Structure 1
Amino acid sequence: MDPPSASFILQSTLFILTVTALVVPTHAQKTFTWGFSNKQIPTDLLACTDFPITIEPATSSGNLTGIPPYYMIGYAINGISRTTFVGSNASSVKWTVDFPIGTKLVLSVFDSEGTSGGISPNEYTVVGGSSTTCIINDAKRDFILTSNSTGDTINTCDPWGLRIKGGVKPYSVTLMQISSPSITNVTMGPNDDAYTYRMRGAPGDRMIAVVNDITGRFAYQAATIMPKGSTDVDCPGLSSMSGSTGDFDRQVEEAHAAAEAKDRHKHTAIIAGTVVAVVALFFATLTMWYFLWYRPHPIQTSKVEPYCQTHTDGAKGSQRFKAQEAGVGGETVQLGHGQTSSESSDQTPINCNPSLPYVETSEAHTASLGTTVAGQLEVIIQHRDGGTGCVRELPPPYVDRTLQEVS
């Protein structure tokens, strides 16, 4: 039997893709399994090499092995995915690697009804072989799929945004995981160019998304991400949806703005709480320090009026002066042997400070004794304001000169 012509393969490919995109349920039922006949095949695939494929019934499908013919879809992670005819008989299926060297692939085999036999257990890389003549290069980049994810992982039930540019609408999105027994296919709206998928992939296995348009052409490169988190993928109340890029981008911006505002509010609250606590602690410490160390304690004092006392020889007697402000209303002091001042005190006299007023230093310079009319002693105090020169005593103006002449 002659192999199918190129035109037949192309028509069949477009038919399969159309059926897959528009007719197949969200989760295609698996009725058969496939694998390389050589179980030891490495993850590096030699370009232009034929790899025999084994088709077997799935455990739950009895003896069903799908409905021939079969097709291999190579989902190119870093290139353009492509569908290749691999056989019309389940016992004789083989695939020739015709992708450019360096392409990373995830593989899946479909039958004529678009039923998938599952996803390959590994990610493969095309490497150079003995020949490169079979390689098909498609350098077009006018139909592109991108992801709005900024990281390499995503939590269960979180939104994964896909953006599509180019091609012919409507688009179809195919979602799969390595080693998964099923594939999810979604047909988008006639004017939609964005799709948000609520992550329901099993944590730990990479999720892959590819897009094709109504003509069966695949967009350049696949979108990939690693699910993590809970294994409960029901995600109640959350659903995947398609729409326009503008609407989705506004929703994302609003969500980010709300999250940032919440973070700022939380940050401000933390700072305010910290400042209040520090200020309260500071004032508590200051108050404690004031009451324990700084506040002055009451001191009991007594009124003490110091006296100055000087001693002379026995003939002159002793003299005691009350220390007062210089030149201001000194109280009368009686002098003489055995005499005391008009005020008595039991306080202990102190030595006179030369700088204080009314302090006797020498009889020649500071005081002279005279006799008043009544025969009482008087004291003449000579101030030192004028220096230490010769000082002469002047008689008081009220002394009767006639009495002095008679004497």
Structure 2
Amino acid sequence: MISTLNGAKGHSALAIALLFLALVSPAVSQDRPPSLQFRWRFTDPSQGASLPTCSPLGITVETFDPDAGDTFGIEPFYMIAYEVEGTPQTSLIGTDNRTLEYTVTHPVGSRLILNVVDSTASGGGIPPQLYTVVEGDSTDCVVSPPSDEPEFIVWTNVTEVVPTCTPLTFAIDGGVPPYSLSIAALDSFTVTNVTIPAGFDAFTWINRAAPSSQLAISVSDANGRWATGTPFLTTAGSTDTECDGRENSNGTWESLGLVRPDRPQASGSATGSSSSGTPRPTAGNSDTDSDEDDETSGGKKNNVGLVVGVTVPLVALLLGGIGTGLWFFMKRKKDKQVSEEKGVSDDEESPANGPSNITITPFNVDDAASTPSSGPTSAGTVTTKQRDGLYSATSPTSYSGSLFHGTSEGASSDVFSTRPVVNETVPTRQPKASEAALSSVTGSSSDYTPTTVSVRSGPSGQEIVIQHRDGGIPTISELPPPYVDQRRQE
């Protein structure tokens, strides 16, 4: 009876021990971090850093601790390929760790950071080098990059080098919050994953990575979609990565003073964050300007210079033309005024109508004499009153010669004056004196060449013009004095 009880106690103790071991062994394996559950590698040992497109590549998963051999990860397995400056991709590589294969579907020329994860999100580690995609037997499987203006983008305020303990800001545009931010470093077993709560679209991370590390920063949204523009940065500085007093923090574009830039191109630029549209803080970061921003600024300056260089001469020519036109217009207007004033002055200086304003111009041609007068007395007709006036103007001695009615032989139609004509009122001669004067005139020497007398009347009064055909001194005959008759009459 006692032996039976002792046997039962022995079996019970063994069962308890086995049960304890069964419970403790998984717990021991779970004590390791999730990123240290397994390792992965390409099955082909000769596989280099160039990965062909659309060609299946074998993947081998091994336990993290070969001596223990207690875990190989939990199926299924996935390959996460972080495309530098592009869009990451997550690919299913199999459900059996002995038959895993990875097919590259990124565009040719892409640079990739690779990491294999299992169904629990445990990672197998990141190799120390970047992989470059090359063209394989086919490119039919290649996934086209997003459009030129992708809807979901991540930016960073640092372009190339990140010193130790330096704040690194990431800003997100698009997607569905909350966001998950992943920081993957080459030759690292861990990937830093941070959840950005809803209501925030930016995150400030303190760089605690070892110096000379290369980092790829990627963002995914609540639907598992990856953002475009994965920045690729290099760390530098001190090996002291404690960074006491500095903490990571959530934020927004506005709270961090960031300005949303233009949307970037999908992929294919030379540097990571410069092509991904790095946001510009409004103050405090002098080293965040990218090469692309400098080129854009230079292009704008060149355009401004071109516009100024073309516009200024055109404006100058236009103003010069307007000024010249105004000058000519004013000059022409002034000349016209001067001409009008001169015409008025000439009119004022011309002879007025009436006998008292007659101008005496000896030996000048009278243009009006060439035109027949419309008055009652025509050229060549001398009235008694006119003759009396003539002799009265020249008395007591008058010209000797013959006076003829009409124009002498060979006389021109132009009329000249050899003596000034004076209009004055004279008393009417007595008939005797008139006859004496007339006989003296008619009885002159025949050697004297006849003189043409032209008489015209017009609006300015009567005018007598005498033209001589000879140049000598006329013979003067003595006339009987007319005073005798006047005295007798008295």
- For residue 74 of structure 2, what is the aligned residue in structure 1? 67
SS in 2 for 1:114: coil
- For residue 410 of structure 2, what is the aligned residue in structure 1? none
- For residue 171 of structure 2, what is the aligned residue in structure 1? 163
Conserved? CA contact 1:119–1:179, under 8 Å: yes
Question: Which runs of structure 2 are paired with 1:217-366 in the superposition (5 Å)?
Answer: 217-249=225-257, 253=282, 255-256=284-285
Distance 2:136 2:143 in 1: 15
Evaluate the alpha carbon distance shift between residue 166 and residue 115 of structure 1 in structure 2; reply closer, same or farther with a 3 A threshold.
same
TM-score (normalised: structure 2):
0.45
SS in 1 for 2:234: strand
Distance 2:233 2:35 in 1: 24
Bigger fraction of residues in helix: 2
Q: CA deviation at 1:76?
A: 0.9
Question: Which runs of structure 2 are paired with 1:364-375 in the superposition (5 Å)?
Answer: none
- For residue 146 of structure 2, what is the aligned residue in structure 1? 139
Matched to 2:120, the amino acid is E
Matched to 1:213, the amino acid is D
Distance 2:74 2:229 in 1: 29
Q: CA deviation at 1:249?
A: 2.1
Q: CA deviation at 1:62?
A: 4.0
Distance 1:88 1:188 in 2: 31
Evaluate the alpha carbon distance shift between residue 252 and residue 188 of structure 1 in structure 2; reply closer, same or farther with a 3 A threshold.
same
Conserved? CA contact 2:157–2:281, under 8 Å: no
Distance 1:127 1:178 in 2: 20
1:31 aligns with 2:37: yes
Distance 1:74 1:256 in 2: 31
Matched to 2:132, the amino acid is T
Distance 2:111 2:94 in 1: 23
Q: CA deviation at 1:253?
A: 4.2
1:58-95: CA deviations, max 9, x gaps?
12874211100100011111321111000111111110
SS in 2 for 1:29: helix
Q: CA deviation at 1:47?
A: 0.6
Q: Pick from 196, 202, 207: which aligns with 2:210?
A: 202
SS in 2 for 1:59: coil
Evaluate the alpha carbon distance shift between residue 249 and residue 66 of structure 1 in structure 2; reply closer, same or farther with a 3 A threshold.
same
Conserved? CA contact 1:28–1:184, under 8 Å: no
Q: CA deviation at 1:254?
A: 5.1
Matched to 2:144, the amino acid is N
Conserved? CA contact 2:153–2:228, under 8 Å: yes
Distance 1:245 1:40 in 2: 47
Distance 1:28 1:221 in 2: 28
Question: Which runs of structure 2 are paired with 1:39-188 in the superposition (5 Å)?
Answer: 39-59=45-65, 62-140=69-147, 141-149=150-158, 151-188=159-196
Distance 1:38 1:179 in 2: 20
Evaluate the alpha carbon distance shift between residue 129 and residue 240 of structure 1 in structure 2; reply closer, same or farther with a 3 A threshold.
same
Q: CA deviation at 1:221?
A: 2.4
Distance 2:75 2:133 in 1: 27
Structure 1: unaligned runs, 5 residues or longer: 1-26, 258-407
Matched to 2:217, the amino acid is A
Distance 1:89 1:240 in 2: 39
1:268-319: CA deviations, max 9, x gaps?
xxxxxxxxxxxxxxxxxxxxxxxxxxxxxxxxxxxxxxxxxxxxxxxxxxxx
SS in 2 for 1:145: strand
Q: CA RMSD in A?
A: 2.0
Determine which structure has more spread, i.e. the larger CA radius of gyration: 2
Matched to 1:143, the amino acid is F
1:190 aligns with 2:195: no
Conserved? CA contact 2:201–2:253, under 8 Å: yes
Distance 1:170 1:226 in 2: 27
Q: How many residues align?
A: 230
Evaluate the alpha carbon distance shift between residue 224 and residue 236 of structure 1 in structure 2; reply closer, same or farther with a 3 A threshold.
same
Conserved? CA contact 1:81–1:221, under 8 Å: no
Q: CA deviation at 1:121?
A: 2.2
Distance 1:198 1:28 in 2: 23
1:171-220: CA deviations, max 9, x gaps?
11001101101111000020111111100111112011100000000001
TM-score (normalised: structure 1):
0.54
Distance 1:55 1:63 in 2: 13
Moved over 4 A (4+): 250-254
Distance 1:38 1:181 in 2: 21
Q: CA deviation at 1:119?
A: 1.2
Conserved? CA contact 1:170–1:187, under 8 Å: yes
Distance 1:89 1:121 in 2: 26
- For residue 285 of structure 1, what is the aligned residue in structure 2? none
Distance 1:191 1:28 in 2: 29
Evaluate the alpha carbon distance shift between residue 256 and residue 153 of structure 1 in structure 2; reply closer, same or farther with a 3 A threshold.
closer
Distance 1:256 1:152 in 2: 14
Bigger fraction of residues in strand: 1
Conserved? CA contact 1:189–1:243, under 8 Å: no
Q: CA deviation at 1:123?
A: 0.7
Matched to 2:134, the amino acid is V
Matched to 1:45, the amino acid is L
